[in-house]
Amino acid sequence: MKPCGNPYSSGYCSDHTKLTARQVLESLTPELVGHIPPPYMSGISASVGIASGKPCQTLKEIEDVKAAGLTAIFVAKDTSAEDVQAINLADGIITMVGGFTSHAAVVARAFNTPCIVGVAENQELLVNQYYEDLSETGQVTIDGRTGKVYEGELEVDTPDDSEVLRLASLFGFQESRDAEILNVANMDPDEALALVKFHIKHSSKKLVLTCSVRTPKEIQAIWGANIVPEELETLVRKLGEIYDPTDPKFELDTNYELEKFTGSPFDFIVRDLESPTDFLRASSLRMNDQTLCDAFGSLEAANVFITGAEIQNIRIAKEYRKPNQPMKSLINLLRDNYRT
């Protein structure tokens, strides 16, 4: 396909030539258009995206603005775990201090919310001044890619959902809305727990928590097979206190070994199938034909066991299916094929 102007337009040619990674990335990136004034202030780009809204300093302000059908930008001197709900509800985030790995930056990226940090240049004398200036501004626009804050609502050119999904389908990806995903690898346990509780209260979708490292086997070869981050162990214990096995709302997919956490309070942990007794848990199991053969001796024996359990209404573990993440896979594909 040869692009004839907008690659999504009806002027798209049909010789089946693929778009380049650069063209795809440019098509997916929101950008400010029209008259763009000088920035009101600027900081560190912490989470990409563009958002306009009314500056709000408290959760109550954000809730009131959202209830009125408007968009809200959470403005804070700095953030902590107590601000998780405000960050989640806001359409964008601005903090006076902080850097790329600050609390606001990490949580904003987890929520995929535009965020700019350190607009006061981390100078104590400017923090209060900038904080008050923003509170007196009726509307701002933030560009998380450039780290710039503009006064007023600016025009944005953003590909809509149908364009993004169409692009994803061109690369063979399917949309999935059956679950939400949250990476808790870099989160404080109390902060992650607050997010899980918030999800349980406000969403009907299953929440899949992920916490993985790229080379756990290499690390375990040095430090031992049972080395698990202390923050992860703490989070698992806290999750066990709120998990309801009769109405599971979340599960944890990690490649760390968590075998010491057993029993129904920890059935939210996705585990590897190793023996038939693993099916007697209410948790999800990673399995395939090979692991079924290893556990039962043959696929026929596995089928007899599973069918018998279903006939007798015995609750058994389910096959874990990792939520489809078309956009993440698409971005990885583009990254691997990107050429300057």
| H-state helical runs in the chain | 21-28, 59-67, 84-89, 103-111, 124-135, 161-170, 189-202, 216-223, 230-242, 289-296, 299-311, 326-337
- Sheet with 284-286, side-by-side order of all strands: 271-272, 284-286, 318-319
* Across 310-327, average pLDDT: 73
Quote the CA–CA distance of 324 and 79 in Å, as a whole number.
31
pLDDT at 285: 85
Length of the chain: 340
- On the question of pLDDT at 193 being above 50, the answer is yes
Average pLDDT for residues 13-19, to the nearest whole number?
Answer: 42
For 292-304, the pLDDT digits (tens) are 888 888 888 888 8
- What distance in Å separates the CA atoms of residue 57 and residue 76, rounded to the nearest whole number? 6
Dig out the tokens for 98 from the structure: 């902080």
Domain boundaries, the chain: 38-157, 179-319
pLDDT at 5: 39
pLDDT for 161: 55
Angle at 10 between CA 6 and CA 13, to 5 degrees: 80
Q: What backbone torsions phi and psi does residue 167 show, to the nearest 5 degrees? A: -65, -45
The C-alpha atoms of residue 340 and residue 322 are separated, in whole angstroms, by 33
Q: What is the pTM of this model?
A: 0.55
Residue range 230-250, pLDDT digits in tens: 889 999 999 999 998 888 889
CATH topology for the 38-157 domain: Glucose Oxidase; domain 1 (3.50.30)
How far is residue 113's CA from residue 48's CA, in Å, rounded to a whole number?
7
Alpha-carbon gap, residue 165 to 8, rounded angstroms = 11
269 in Cβ contact with 236 (< 8 Å): yes
**What amino acid is encoded at 95 in this protein?**
T
pLDDT tens readout for residues 125-175? 899 999 999 989 989 999 998 999 999 999 988 766 556 556 555 544 444
- Find the mean pLDDT for residues 98-125: 88
Q: How many CA atoms does the CB half-sphere of 321 hold within 13 Å?
A: 8
Q: Rounded to an integer, what distance in angstroms lies between the CA atom of residue 3 and that of residue 30?
A: 19
pLDDT in tens, 54-66: 999 999 999 999 9
62: nearest Cα among 45, 79, 47, 42: 79
Cβ-contact 125, 148 below 8 angstroms: no
Residue 118: closest CA among 137, 103, 138: 103
Q: Is the pLDDT of residue 263 over 80?
A: no
